Amino acid sequence: MASILRRTRRLPHTTPPLRADTTHRKAAGATVSHWTAPGYGRSLTEAGRPSRRTYAGTRGYARSEDPSSAIGAPAMMSTLTPQHLRSAKDWAEIQERMLVPLYEAVYQHLGVGSRTRMLGLGCGSGLALLLAAARGARVVGTELDPARLALARARLAPAPQWGARSWSVQLLPGGPDRLPEGRSYDLVTVFDTGSSAGALQEAAARTQPGSPVVLAGWGTAEECAATDALRRAHRLTDPEPDGTHQPAGGRDALEGLAAGAGLDVADSGQVQCPFGYADVDSAVRGLLSTGVHRRIEQEADEERLGRELAEVLRERRRPDGTVWLSNLFHYVVARAA
C-alpha cells in the first residue's frame, strides 16, 4: 500500500535541482538572483535526446468550487476546425512544457503557496495552473479558446483517484468578465500576453490592494531563437513584409502593456526557456501552436509556412536529429496605480 501511495504522488518527471541562473531586477535598479529549474523546458532523456512524453504534473483531482465551472461545451467544440483542434493538442502535448522554467521562476519569486488565491488569464491547457495548485494555491483560470480549455479540464479535473491529493481549481470560458462577483485574488498571472488592456484592468480590479499582476512574454528576435526562426519563415512566405505581423517582444513591450492597463511596474525578471524537440516535425508543430504569429497563419498559407519553418529549423538540427532553440523570456510584476 505504501508503494501505491508513493506512485500516486510522485511527479512523472523528476524535478531537476534548482539553479540560480535567472536574473531578477527591481524597478529601483537592484539586481539579485532567484531560482529556476533548467531541466523542465528540455524534457531530456538520460541520453540527452528530447523526450516525446508530455509533462503531466502531479496526480490529483480538483475540488470545483462552482458547478458552472464545468465547461464541457460540445456545441462550441463542434464548431472548431480540425486545424484548430490539432493546434491546441500540439500546444498541450509538445510546446507548453517548454515554459515550465518561466512558471516556476515566477512562483518561486512571489512565494506562491497555500495562502495564494491566484487568477490565471489565458490559462491555455492548464499547466501553469497545475503547477500553482501543486504548491497549494487556490486557482481560477479563464481561457477564450474552448479547445485549450477542454484540455485544461482534462489535465486539472480528472476523476478522483484513491490516495491522490486534491486541490482547489475553477476553470471558466471567456475573460475576467465571467468571474464570479464578490471574489478577490491576491495574484493575477498573464503568461499569454494576448489579453487586452481592458481585460487586465478588469482583472486588476478584482485583486486586493497592492496585489501583483504578472505579465510574461517572449524576448526579442535577438534574445529568442524561436522568434527569429518564425520571423525568418514568414519572410520566406512574404518577401516584402510590412512589419505589421511581427509581434513586439522583450521587457519594453510588457511594460507598455502594463502602462496601457493603468498598472505600475514594480520589478521584472528574465528566464531562460530552451525549446528542445525530438525532430524537425515536432518543432514545427510546437512553434506553430504557440499562436505568437496567429495573424500570419490566418493570412499566409499555413502549409507553406510550415515548410519554410522546417527549412529554417533544419539549420539548427543536431547530428542526432533533435532541434534545440535557446530563448530568453521576460516578465514584469505590476500593481494597480
| Concatenated DSSP letters of 240-308 | S--STTSPP-SHHHHHHHHHHTTEEEEEEEEEE--EEESSHHHHHHHHHTT-TTHHHHHHS-HHHHHHH
DSSP code of 191? S
To the question of pTM greater than 0.85 for the whole model, the response is no
Grouping H, G, I as helix, E, B as strand and the rest as coil, residue 116 is coil
Lowest mean pLDDT among 9-13, 105-109, 138-142, 265-269: 9-13
Is residue 221 within 8 Å of 227, Cβ to Cβ? yes
- Tens digit of pLDDT for each residue in 226-283? 988 988 887 766 655 554 444 557 899 999 999 999 999 999 999 999 999 999 999 9
Nearest to 172 by CA among 99, 67, 88, 289: 67
Residue 181, phi then psi, degrees to nearest 5: -70, 150
- Tens digit of pLDDT for each residue in 191-213? 987 778 888 999 998 888 889 99
Q: Which pLDDT does position 248 carry in this prediction?
A: 57
Q: How is residue 10 written as a grid cell?
A: 510522485
